Amino acid sequence: MDKLPRWADVVLVPLICLIIAFVFCGILIAAIGQSPLQAIWIMIDGSFGSTNGLGYTLYYATNFIFTGLAVSIAFQASLFNIGGEGQATLGGLGVALSCLLIPWPHWSLALLGSLAAGAAFGAAWGFLPAWLQAKRGSHIVITTMMFNFIAYALMNYVLVNLLRPMGSMDPASARFDKAYNLPKLGDILGLVGIPFSSKNPANITFLIAIALAVGVWALLWHTRLGYALRAFGKQEKAALYAGIDPVKITIYALLLSGGISGLMAVNAVQGAAHRLVLNSVEGAGFIGIAVALMGRNHPFGIVIASILFGFLYEGGSQLAMGTTIPREVITVLQALVILFTGALPYMVQKPLEHLFAKFGGAK
Amino acid sequence: MTLMKRLLGASAVLALSAVAALADPAIIYDVGGKNDKSFNQSASEGAQRWATETGGTFKELEMQSEAQREQALRQLAEAGANPIVMTGFAFGDALNAVAPDYPDTKFAIIDTEVDQPNVKSVMFTEDQGSYLAGMMAAMASKTGVVGFIGGMDVPTIRRFGCGYAQGVKAVNADATVIINMTGTDGSAWNNPVKGAEIAKSQISQKADVIYAAAGGTGVGVLQAAADGGILSIGVDDNQNPLHPGQVLTSMVKRVDNAVYEAFKAGADLTPGLTVMDLAAGGVDVAMDDNNAALVTPEMKAAVEDARAKITSGELKVHNYTTDSTCPAATF
């Protein structure tokens, strides 16, 4: 049987998946007595129809680009890092400490400081599970998962007992100096004459995330380390035979993965909240796994998948605000889109291959 | 450019038409959701009561993420909702940023203080209500060991625990108060299985009255206490009817009244700080038919005595959140 042409594989399959997902969402919305077309329009218009909505979509997408890249880089080495949540939580602590303790003269330096601190804290949280896997054989799925809970507990302790301003009910740090607020995407686009709303949390970190995606692509396919990571992931014994040290590679992969997860906090903590709250990651670490799978572990695919997830988040909140559809149903709608676009492309691929084969045969 | 303008225009119209009609009140629940069997649910009941009584409609919204808070506040304010009520201290920061941009909209926030000219802040004195609950626990306890199970280890819950411990020690200075928290993430507010597990562990340490201040988790605590043949104390809502004759009392926190009052005042809501304390009926220990047999006349007398003293200011219950210390317990 013939393979699908490249354009069909890349464009047609995801598009059909998306349409099927929307059909099922429509049935569900109709079943609870709401208008499906209106609901889907609210989602699309809310997240892409205005620059403000688009800003929120891109803000969420930025988080997912970081966590998605983090998962995929470890996945290239066949390491399933599901600790992105904890690593990003620790990254948040790093960013907050950098912004609270160091008197930066300018936001750009504060940004560099946050990037360094976020990456360092995230990487450190990835290091221990990596070391345990490499040296002791403790499975990384278990350890990174457990480290998420340790991160929650640590964050709870630090915020309630150390960073919380006296008398505050809110387990959150003080606000960072206003001077450290990152430039909004709207301000940056305004410089080149593109009108874009600044009332949303999308900020310069989005551009950093895009640059990082290019960087990860270059690292994976154009450097020795990237080659070693992929070789180790494909066939550990062959890699060993080729002189690749499994201990080093495991640790490098998790340091990179944890560091990139930690960078997410620059967007969420310094870029949007301007302070550290208890749950600053909000599941983005786990969403990163779905993003990486949907993006087929390729940085370019991850950026696209992140924007789709950003759309689901922002569209979901617009749906909550614009209709009376309950929050639980919105979660189901989001899950349906993830299910069809992420997990079931093969369901569409096979029949399409048949169709294309027939079509090709007739010609 | 024109396309962009048209898109912007279209979405603005849609946003306006989609959100509630002008001047309806709105309520925003925190991430726990409005059916949390506790704090948010109580708020929801207050809003429902207003709707039933006046026949009015209101817009309600549940939060899913942190970034959504400011967005939701702005959208509701721009759509003309007034007043906008929100439950939970987590909105404080966002409200502080949003309120000055909408000087004609009134906001009400529960559980924290936001100092803006168009914001009403409603605070409850959980320490006072918990103090009374603690006194009753100490008087009902035969072993001299009582338990406290919180949701997450956050300042508000320490305030509950600290008031409770003070009440216990006021009756029996030698009593032991076992303090446990359910967890370190949001699921701790809705984990009845873990709540029951901790309750069983406290029972094995001889606790014979357990106070649960843990949202939905408390349902498991009350169940385990009833199964274990000991007494429990409910929170927020009156939970006495859950296990009649086995729940000593409930420390009720009238969030519903706060929401109801705010909705009723409408656009004329008076800004400023309102403290819903024991005197104002904001907090209390629930007495009804379900726990009548458990509450001895001595208990009643002691509670009434303490209530009078707290109301008159003669007895001061220490509030943990003022200085992050507690004279009767360590966290």
**pLDDT at residue A297 above 60?**
yes
pLDDT score, position B265: 92
In this structure, is residue B291 part of a structural domain?
no
Of the candidates B7, B76, B112, the beta carbon closest to that of A169 is on B112
pLDDT band at B11 (very low <50, low <70, confident <90, very high): very low
Find residues 105-134 of chain A whose CB sits inside 8 Å of chain B: none
Of the candidates A170, A195, A201, the beta carbon closest to that of B112 is on A170
A334 closest CA partner among A41, A33, A40, A64: A40
pLDDT tens, residue by residue, A214-249 = 999 999 999 999 999 999 999 999 999 999 999 999
How, if at all, do strands B145-152 and B209-213 pair?
parallel
**pLDDT at residue B4 above 80?**
no
**pLDDT at residue A317 above 50?**
yes
**pLDDT at residue A12 above 90?**
no
Of the candidates A45, A167, A171, the beta carbon closest to that of B154 is on A171
What is the tally of structural domains in chain B? 2
User: Contact B112/A272, CB-based, under 8 Å?
Assistant: no
In this structure, is residue B2 part of a structural domain?
no
Rounded Cα distance between B112 and B311, Å, is 22
pLDDT score, position A360: 67
Q: How far is B152 from chain A (nearest CA, A)?
A: 9
**pLDDT at residue B10 above 60?**
no
- On whether both B132 and B120 belong to a single domain, the answer is no
- B92 chain-A contacts, CB cut-off 8 A: 169-170
pLDDT score, position B20: 42
Choose between A6 and A50: higher pLDDT: A50
Choose between B315 and B12: higher pLDDT: B315
Q: What percent of chain A has pLDDT over 90?
A: 73
Whether residue A56 lies within 8 A of chain B, CB to CB, comes out as yes
In this structure, is residue B205 part of a structural domain?
yes
The overall average pLDDT reported for chain A is 91
- On whether both B237 and B261 belong to a single domain, the answer is no
Of the candidates B62, B184, B321, the beta carbon closest to that of A156 is on B184
User: Contact B93/A170, CB-based, under 8 Å?
Assistant: yes
In this structure, is residue B181 part of a structural domain?
yes
**pLDDT at residue B19 above 50?**
no
For residues B90-108, average pLDDT: 93
- On whether both B175 and B311 belong to a single domain, the answer is yes
- A54 chain-B contacts, CB cut-off 8 A: none
- Give the pair of three-digit tokens for residue B273: 């700080």
pTM: 0.87
- On whether both B75 and B177 belong to a single domain, the answer is no
Q: Which residue of B has its CA nearest to A169?
A: B155
How, if at all, do strands B119-124 and B272-276 pair?
parallel
pLDDT band at B16 (very low <50, low <70, confident <90, very high): very low
In this structure, is residue B169 part of a structural domain?
yes
DSSP string, B77-121: HHTT--SEEEESGGGHHHHHHHGGG-TTS-EEEESS----TTEEE
- On whether both B40 and B113 belong to a single domain, the answer is yes
3-state SS, residue B233: strand
- On whether both B59 and B143 belong to a single domain, the answer is no
- On whether both B141 and B101 belong to a single domain, the answer is no
Residue written as token pair 């049935």:
A27
pLDDT score, position B14: 45
Of the candidates B4, B61, B185, the beta carbon closest to that of A195 is on B4
For residues A324-341, average pLDDT: 86
pLDDT score, position A298: 92
pLDDT band at B9 (very low <50, low <70, confident <90, very high): very low
Domain boundaries, chain A: 68-292
- On whether both B83 and B224 belong to a single domain, the answer is no
**pLDDT at residue A180 above 80?**
yes
3-state SS, residue B151: strand
- On whether both B87 and B119 belong to a single domain, the answer is yes
Whether residue A46 lies within 8 A of chain B, CB to CB, comes out as yes
Which residue(s) pair with B29 in the sheet?
B62
User: Contact B66/A273, CB-based, under 8 Å?
Assistant: yes
In this structure, is residue B284 part of a structural domain?
no
- A313 chain-B contacts, CB cut-off 8 A: 64-65
User: Contact B71/A160, CB-based, under 8 Å?
Assistant: no
- Give the pair of three-digit tokens for residue B312: 């008159």
Q: How far is A211 from chain B (nearest CA, A)?
A: 24
- Give the pair of three-digit tokens for residue B69: 């808070």
- On whether both B138 and B226 belong to a single domain, the answer is yes
- B324 chain-A contacts, CB cut-off 8 A: 166
In CATH, what number is assigned to the domain containing residue B66?
3.40.50.2300
**pLDDT at residue A54 above 80?**
yes
**pLDDT at residue A362 above 50?**
no
Q: Which domain holds residue B151?
A: 127-252+296-323
Whether residue B275 lies within 8 A of chain A, CB to CB, comes out as no
Q: How many CB atoms lie within 10 A of CB A308?
A: 20
Find residues 53-72 of chain B whose CB sits inside 8 Å of chain A: 61-62, 64-68, 71-72
B133 closest CA partner among B174, B176, B155, B162: B162
Q: What percent of chain B has pLDDT over 90?
A: 72
**pLDDT at residue A258 above 90?**
yes
A290 closest CA partner among A64, A83, A14, A126: A64
- On whether both B89 and B178 belong to a single domain, the answer is no
- Residue B174 dihedral angles phi and psi, to the nearest 5°: -90, -5
pLDDT score, position A186: 92
CA distances from residue A278 to A171, A269, A283, A292, A299 in whole angstroms, order as listed: 6, 11, 12, 26, 30
Mean pLDDT check: name the lowest of A199-213, A302-316, B8-22, B125-139: B8-22
- On whether both B113 and B131 belong to a single domain, the answer is no
Q: How far is A174 from chain B (nearest CA, A)?
A: 10
Choose between A319 and B66: higher pLDDT: A319
In this structure, is residue B64 part of a structural domain?
yes
- Give the pair of three-digit tokens for residue B178: 């076992």
Residue written as token pair 């749950």:
A279
In this structure, is residue B35 part of a structural domain?
yes
